[in-house]
Amino acid sequence: MAPMSTDTLRTELHEGWARLTLARPERRNALNTALLAELAAALTRLDADAQVRVVVIAGADGHFAAGADIGEIATKTTAEGRVDLRKDSWAAIRGFSKPLIAAVEGYCLGGGCELALMSDIMIVAPDAQLGLPETNLGIIPGAGGAERLTALIGRARAMRMVLSGEIIPGSLAHDWGMAAFLAEDVQGEAEDLARRLARRAPLALMAAKRAVVGASESPLAGTLAATRTAFEDLLDSADKAEGIAAFGARRHPVFTGR
């Protein structure tokens, strides 16, 4: 299969593995709807390619992904959220059957952090910045980030991060169990790991992934659906509008609970 790069998603094929690079550097690789759809489509193609056994997701210019696209969220209503195409893209990403490695450096926030949490193995730089700061905008993580974070680091730490919107360094994320590897050279470590995994039995890798994901996520199915509904409900709130306006004006929001 030939590489199918776009202006915002670069695809590189190597022997046994592939790298997908989010490439919106002017927005620190924020995941707008178009980029998320491109990522989902690329993973679907790579899932069907028997020559590709492992995929690495990285970000261009020293950042993984600085969140979702705030401009899209600003105008999105609850009704639009109910039929949001992003849900299909997230489902396709999580349904990728082969090992998925996230190479995290720089900003990894909001939707970008949710993407990293969907990976099977996360590699972080010590000074990477990870967090789910959606409550600062009057919303919550909408793609299962809170649930996956809780499964990885426990209730107390997940509550600390999700409720306060705290952003933590990669070194602490690794210490807490959010990431599997801590590395100064994140891209090199990811490439080395991808090569090692690509030499292993592909059917066994996929079966092992299903086993681990099933053990960690099957009990969350109902919660994930309820969280998505709660996220959609918040899109019409006055607090969401205030949070977005405050973000754009670089001021502290004044929330009223409406």
CA distance 181 to 156: 22
Question: Which of 26, 38, 72, 114 is labelled catalytic?
Answer: 114
Q: What is the DSSP letter of 9?
A: E
CA distance 45 to 225: 26
User: What SS3 class is residue 155?
Assistant: helix
CA distance 203 to 84: 33
Residue 134 annotated to the active site: yes
| Residues contacting residue 58 through CB under 8 Å, at least 6 positions apart | 19, 20, 21, 22, 64, 102, 103, 186, 187, 190
Question: Which of 15, 26, 80, 134 is labelled catalytic?
Answer: 134
Q: How many CB atoms lie within 10 A of CB 164?
A: 13
Residue 114 annotated to the active site: yes
The residues carrying an active-site annotation are 114, 134
